[in-house]
Amino acid sequence: MMQVVNPQTGESDPAEIRRVFDAQLATALAWRESTAAERIARLKKLRDAMMARREDFYAAFQKDYRKPSAEVEATEFMPVLDEIRHAIGSLKKWMKPTKVWPTIASALTSSWIEYQPRGRALIVAPWNFPLNLCFGPMVSALAAGNTVILKPSEMTPAVSAVMAEIIAATFPENEVALFEGSLPTSQALLDLPFDHIFFTGSPAVGKVVMAAAAKHLTSVTLELGGKSPVIVDETANLRLTAEALMWGKFTNCGQICVAPDHVYVHESVKDKLVAECKAVLAERYGVTAQEQRNSPHLARVINQRHTQRIAGLLQDAQGRGARVLTGGEVDVAACYIAPTLIEQVPQEAQIMSEEIFGPVLPVITYRDLDAVVREINAQPKPLALYVFSTDKARTRRLLARTSSGGVAINHCVLHYAQGNLPFGGVNNSGIGNAHGHFGFKAFSHERAVLKSGPILMAKLFFPPYTDFKQKLIRATVDILRLPKLF
């Protein structure tokens, strides 16, 4: 059943949201006993329905923000299909109880961990990858045996409409439902006592989601963002660095939570790196400003408001002395900002404290790597850190001295697509992990089970505490001070 949106307000009816939420309770309870085969069947239905609307998604992404069809395939379809493939191939293993060794205190018992569905899950998705970041977490939720309510972004209405049609045609509403709307719809959903909330978005909104979840002691996975720094030292392969950086920064018009935010480059190779970056941009998008503007390979900023925000960051930086190395053209009405590199950006510029989330890349020259590390550590922990270097010892030191959700060495962004790695932030950039087995566990309760053997060894520790028991307990504690034997 398609969920109806009020045409005057653009919001879903809170009463309808509550009705569907209540309807999913019986399903969530029944799905605690769901088999791997049943869960896999749901994933296959989702996969087939999604693939059947491939061309419709091309048109929807083009309408929402002129996203090239190749990027729709690579950054929207590919991650979701990989999640489905991974889950289908691994679900039986993931669901299997994990046996654990007994400890001294639990001698002569057996123990294991069971993976139980959390129950009713809410997934709140952003606009930058509206299909990937909505359906991707849903794959993990369904694999783990949960019911799902989806809330996509109102900023990509064409894509959201196609997703809503797919969900309505593929699942009964007591299994999976999708509600469209903006802040009022989100608030109506967050008021409900879900068993788990998976949110992708900004740290500021993540705090709101976490506060709402706290009212019901609902567990959360928060995939947030931050200013992901890049370090390019004097040993880096500059051509490969430029190719990776220009891809990671300007794909999806820079609207990627793990996009390179700013680059620290050693002074001895800065000019050559900039030259290589300019060459890559010319090869991919055109030599002249007009060619780049007309390039079918560049997406647009999501809307005029965000275009004005990014343009304001650029103008503020220029007003404080920053210099444009390439790009800089802005057309707010067309939601267009050229691929832009800037240098000589003072620390007090707004662009150095606010996540850019657009096609502007500050290039910062450094001489002392220790100073760079201090600057990174003085900021909130980012979602990603990128190191371009062929010095293995230096790279290891950088990883040891910094903290971030993830790291890529001599590449950027691609770690997101490695489904065997946990994807997530740390503190300000996120809580919890997603993808593959880590996504399955995010939507699962790891339930501890202990089974006693025929001899109840623990009776030796039960009252009354005779002298013998007192000595036995004391001796056991003393044994625990020794190194682990196995």
Question: Any idea which residues carry the catalytic annotation?
Answer: 223, 257
Tally helices (H) and strands (E) across the chain: 17, 18
* Closest among 130, 28, 31, 46 to 83, alpha carbons compared: 46
CB 113 within 8 A of CB 101: no
Say if residues 158 and 132 touch (Cβ distance below 8 Å): no
CA distance 272 to 242: 10
Q: What tokens appear for 301 in the block?
A: 């900023």
Measure the CA–CA gap between 283 and 393, rounded to whole angstroms: 34
Please name the amino acid found at residue 375. E
Strand partners for 117? 444
Name the token pair of 242: 């430029």
In the block, which residue shows the tokens 């002691």? 217
Calpha distance 74→158 (Å, rounded): 19
| CA 111/CA 81 separation, integer angstroms | 35
Query: CA angle at residue 448 from 447 to 452, to 5 degrees?
Result: 140
Which helix or strand (DSSP H or E) is residue 200 part of? strand 196-200
